[in-house]
Homo-oligomer: A and B are copies of this chain.
Amino acid sequence: MEILQVESALVCTSRVSGLQKTSLRVLRSESGRRQVAVDPVGARPGNWVYTVSGSAARYAAGDFEVLTDLTIGGIIDYWE
Interface residues on A, range: 35 or more
Q: Which of B36, B53, B68, B71 contacts A16 (CB 8 A)?
A: B71
Contact present for B80 and A52 (CB under 8 Å)? no
Name the residue among A42, A53, A59, A67 with the largest chain B CB count within 10 angstroms.
A67
Contact present for A67 and B60 (CB under 8 Å)? yes
Contact present for A36 and B50 (CB under 8 Å)? yes
A interface residues, Cβ below 8 angstroms from B: 1-3, 7-16, 18-19, 24, 26, 30, 34-37, 40-42, 45, 50, 52-60, 62, 67-80
A-B contact sample (9 more), CB < 8 A, given A15-B41, A45-B80? A2-B36, A3-B36, A13-B75, A16-B74, A18-B59, A19-B74, A26-B79, A55-B55, A56-B58
